[in-house]
Chains A and B, each alone.
Chain A
Amino acid sequence: MSGETTRKPGPEDLRRARVEGRGIALRGDDIDTDRIIPARFLRCVTFEGLGEHVFEDDRKSFPGGLHPFDRPELQRAEILVVSRNFGCGSSREHAPQSLWRWGIRALVGVSFAEIFFGNCAALGVPCVTLAEEEVARLQDAVEKDPALRVIVDVEHRSVMYGERSAPAGLPDGVRQAFLTGTWDSAALLMDRPEEIDAVAARLPYVSLWTSGAAPADEGE
């Protein structure tokens, strides 16, 4: 079992043009966030320590041997290859945090649940999609050769390994955020405070019939 990555998400260079590493396949559709990190581990006020509990219950009851996250040869893998609708369910950011702290830096799958996808993006972790047969092929390949290098090319929207290159899906806005290193959206959103206040002022419910119309720097 790997120790938790001690760094916080978001190393110095925030650009994510490509993510390269060894792959780890996790098969099965509709793997929900309760399975990624069971709710009892949400009783915390920081995200620290979540890495060791990722898939905790699934790992204890994995049919036919070791769960991929427990296999010695897959420790330090960085590219998680999943199936359909991965991350469905709760909005808990603890799910991508636990994957990130285990060591995952990018995900490849047939499809992702929307809130999970956004939560990964907010940590600088790209989730790209491939056609179903391409995902199956990649899962086979990384299971056969745990040392195989997998490249998630955000810039050119492709996934490459061995001799193969498969076209990958990634929405424009998120791709741009990864390429420019602006996926940490808070800074971007703080850029034009006067425009925020202007929108607030022109919304009738803000100015006329709900409380809390004033931004903090004026209201306090």
Chain B
Amino acid sequence: MGKNLLEKVWEAHTVRRLPTGQTQLFIGLHLVHEVTSPQAFEALRQRGWKVRYPGRTFATVDHIVPTDTRKRPFADSLAEEMMAAIETNCREFGIALFDLSDDRQGIVHVVGPELGLTQPGMTIACGDSHTSTHGAFGAIALGIGTSQVRDVLATQCLALDPLKVRRIRLGGRLGPGCFAKDAILTIIRELGVKGGVGYAYEYAGELIEALSMEERMTICNMSIEGGARVGYINPDETALEYIRGRPFAPPAEAWDDAARWWLSMASDPDASYDDEVEIDGSRIEPVVTWGIHPGQSVPVGERIPRPDDLPPEDGASARAALEFMGFRPGQRLVGTRIDVAFIGSCTNGRLSDLREAAAVARGRRTAPHVKALVVPGSRRVAAAAEAEGLDEVFREAGFEWRDAGCSMCLAMNPDKLTDRQVCASSSNRNFKGRQGHPTGRTLLMSPAMVAAAAVAGEVVDVRDLIDGGRRSG
């Protein structure tokens, strides 16, 4: 009987079985940002510990950074204090920091892959739930809390309970105007926001294999929104080609060994799984959320479900969600007026996302009442987009072109909704208050759909704007 990737990676990184029965797992790459790390460094300081493998931890700043100015000190004194803390901590503990003056700065889950730090077969940890992003390379990537950040700094290890593996096979191909974001939102709607608790999700099948690495990252990124702490895709030639030539890629003389080992970590054809699910990818359509968790979504042309028609356990939360959002049961989302359009985040802030959005924005204008932001996922993404002239496309269309950071995905920086604003957002969470105001409302969708909504001033089907407005499929 063969093994799946999770079993192989787990085995290769197991230090020992702890007296509690948990596994002590070695972590190959640790990524750090300014929000969940200061208390961990302070714990080390208090206990007189040092960082055991300082060369295996990389830090950047993303959550709190303003995207309209990089001037220090920040206007927000609390943000400035956090920035000063990570600078001091990294200096004191000998950790590489890609700070605001570094052209490698950006969202931690964009930076790791684009620098070649993220590689197949690794264990990766970061104090952020979207660490699952790195699973796109066939790594086992875990979002952790601050106590565990402390553990990884001090020991390069985590104490973990075993995970089960669910293989999700997506057959078919995505139609025009449909993207990886639509695929993962569909998966979450079908399997539920807690369907993945206790599982790692292995995404497989024809549709997944045809995706680029950036699209695969979008899929794995939102695993946690389906309850799965870990999501991964088996490494293949697409992954290898992405890594080749990046700053932290293996040197030429080690490349063949690396490539062989990476591919050997992929799930065996006869591997077993704790659960298997099949989804027909060819019926995936552009998706928009209508509620307050990412599972509450519909294909853009369909009506919001009536809570009475849902399974009883989903009815109550659907009712609460509709009340908060101000939607009626059975209402259509198309035509919903938006106030803000946000393109960015670790889910959809990469170059291909900006290209898809720019393709919609090109030659059009945002609606006069819409505030539209494009926030590149990293400075490298920004530079690549600017080299292609995407910044000009967006600016000419009325979008603001900002500096790299998490921005309005969680609104810890000055980019926030106000009052009851409705935001068409390419981010990952539509929780109450998520975008910076307790009554602000979020509609999750693909970057192309956000650009289309920004232009129309309301939710539209992006397929009506591409291909000369002809509906395909």
Contacts and interface: CB of A to CB of B under 8 A. Distances in A.
Contact of B154 (A43, A189, A200, A203): A189
A28 B76 CA distance: 34
A83 B411 CA distance: 27
Interface stretch (A117-125, A138-146, A147-155): A117-125
Contacts of B151: 185-186, 189
B12 interface: yes
Interface stretch (A18-26, A67-75, A158-166, A167-175): A167-175
Number of chain A interface residues as a range: 35 or more
Given A57-B438, A85-B193, A200 B156 contact: yes
Contacts of A5: none
A174 B162 CA distance: 12
11 contacts: A32-B432, A38-B438, A39-B411, A40-B411, A45-B39, A115-B129, A119-B147, A177-B20, A190-B155, A193-B155, A205-B121
A193 B49 CA distance: 13
Contacts of B131: 91
Interface stretch (B22-30, B327-335, B462-470): B22-30
Nearest to B196: A114
Give the most central of B39, B49, B227, B431: most A CB within 10 Å: B431
B433 A34 contact: yes
Contacts of B47: 186
A186 B42 CA distance: 14
Given A29-B317, A90-B128, 16 more contacts: A32-B432, A44-B82, A45-B42, A46-B38, A57-B438, A88-B227, A90-B429, A91-B36, A118-B145, A118-B148, A119-B145, A174-B20, A188-B20, A209-B254, A210-B56, A213-B55
A123 B147 contact: yes
A38 B411 CA distance: 10
B257 A209 contact: yes
Interface of B: 12-16, 18-22, 24, 26, 28-29, 35-36, 38-39, 42-43, 47, 49-57, 63-64, 76, 78-79, 81-82, 85, 94, 119, 121-122, 127-129, 131, 143-148, 150-151, 154-159, 161, 193-194, 197-198, 224, 227, 229, 248, 250-251, 254, 257-258, 261, 292-293, 313, 316-317, 320, 410-412, 429, 431-434, 436, 438-439
A89 B129 contact: yes
Contact of A34 (B51, B161, B429): B429
Contacts of A58: 432
A11 interface: no
B78 A44 contact: yes
A213 B12 CA distance: 16
A53 to B, nearest CB: 12
A118 B160 CA distance: 9
Contacts of A213: 55
B28 to A, nearest CB: 6
